Amino acid sequence: MTWHVAEDDVRAYARGELAPPMLWSADTHLAQCAECRALLASVTDPVALDAGWERLDAELDAPRRGLVESLLVRIGVADHTARLLAATPVLRRSWFGAVALLLVMTVLVTDASNVATPDVFLALAPLLPLAGVAMAYGPVLDPTYEMTVVAPMHGFKLLMIRTTAVLVAGLGLNGLATLALPGYGLAALAWLLPALALTATSLALTPRLGPVLAPGVVGGAWTALLLVAHGRATHGGTLAPFTATGQTVAAAVAVLAAGLLYLARDRFDTKTPGFGPTA
């Protein structure tokens, strides 16, 4: 060798601070010069080197991210949160497929019936996110539920992470369906506030009634309300929940239920429904 990398440059190289073009020269030279490699090894901080190997190991062993998880990480969601979201039981192709199919059929029926207000669509749309959220946390669809409830992560935090994911997905599908009904204008969006009200109410009732009964009761109450409203509506008129007054009430219920849910947040860690007598 006719030249060697200066010791200061080797130290900078070890710290990752050597800038091009000297960095390129050092790279090439170190590959061929045992003397400089020995110097590099002697000036490298062993702790930093170990940390580097650990990071490399972690990357090599890192689980291959699925489509949803990769997308979440790409838009800035923390790696561990993305993993929790991707493991949300209802965020599966089968769930999306079923919901999308149901919405397509509802939109087609609404379109074909040529009615003044899209009542069938507006009645159904709030139930879909409700069902999704109900199945996101609990023993029914989450195979890891029993391990999850004894983990130090707060149950409420996990519930909120999953609820956000399911709501974004569910409301997104509903939104796409709404776009498929342009003839109704803003009236086709009247499902949104009831959807939020039903979901928040169901979650607020979950610590008391459990993750199956709570959405069941709320869904049943919504259906009963619609039947009553249908009986009272004039022919071709808008059902009460979808009028301006009904929307205001839905917004108020959503806010109230969200407040109650927040107050009951600790109960998701103390009262864990789904366990009964064992064989």
Partner 1 sequence: MTTTVSAAGLSLRYGLTTALDDVSLRLTEGVTGLLGPNGAGKTTLLRVLATAVPADEGTFTVLGHDPRTPAGRQETRRVLGYLPQTPGFHPDFSAFDFVDYVAILKELTDRTARHNEVRRVLAEVDLSDVRGKRIKKLSGGMRQRVALAAALVGDPGFLVLDEPTVGLDPEQRMRFRELIARAGEGRTVLLSTHQTEDVAMLCHRVVVMAAGRVRFDGTPAELTARAAGRVWSSSERDPNAKAGWRTGLGVFRNVGDPPPGAELVEPTLEDGYLLTLDGMHAEATA
**Which spans of this chain sit near partner 1 (rule: CB under 8 A)?**
51, 54-55, 57-58, 61-63, 66, 78-80, 83-84, 87, 89, 142-154, 158, 266, 269-272, 275-279
Cβ atoms of 171 and 97 within 8 Å: the answer is no
Distances (CA, A) of 55 to 13, 15, 52, 73, 77: 19, 16, 5, 18, 20
What is the nearest approach in angstroms of partner 1 to the Cβ of residue 144?
A: 5
Cβ atoms of 243 and 185 within 8 Å: the answer is no
What is the nearest approach in angstroms of partner 1 to the Cβ of residue 276?
A: 5
| CB nearer to partner 1: pick between 143 and 220 | 143
Q: Which of 106, 248, 250, 252 is nearest to 184 (CA)?
A: 106
| CB nearer to partner 1: pick between 64 and 235 | 64
Going by the DSSP 8-state scheme, the letter that residue 15 receives in this structure is H
What is the nearest approach in angstroms of partner 1 to the Cβ of residue 122?
A: 35
Q: Characterise 92 by phi-psi region: left (phi > 0), alpha (psi -120 to 50), beta (else).
A: beta
The dihedrals phi and psi of 16, each to the nearest 5 degrees, come to: 80, 20
| CB nearer to partner 1: pick between 155 and 170 | 155
Q: Which of 134, 140, 142, 255 is nearest to 196 (CA)?
A: 255
What is the nearest approach in angstroms of partner 1 to the Cβ of residue 145?
A: 7
Give me the residue label for tokens 């059929």.
105
What is the nearest approach in angstroms of partner 1 to the Cβ of residue 88?
A: 10
What is the nearest approach in angstroms of partner 1 to the Cβ of residue 159?
A: 13
Rounded to 5 degrees, what angle do the CA atoms 194, 273, 208 make? 50
| CB nearer to partner 1: pick between 80 and 235 | 80
| CB nearer to partner 1: pick between 139 and 216 | 139
Query: How far apart (Å, rounded) are the C-alpha atoms in residues 166 and 91?
Result: 7
| CB nearer to partner 1: pick between 13 and 145 | 145
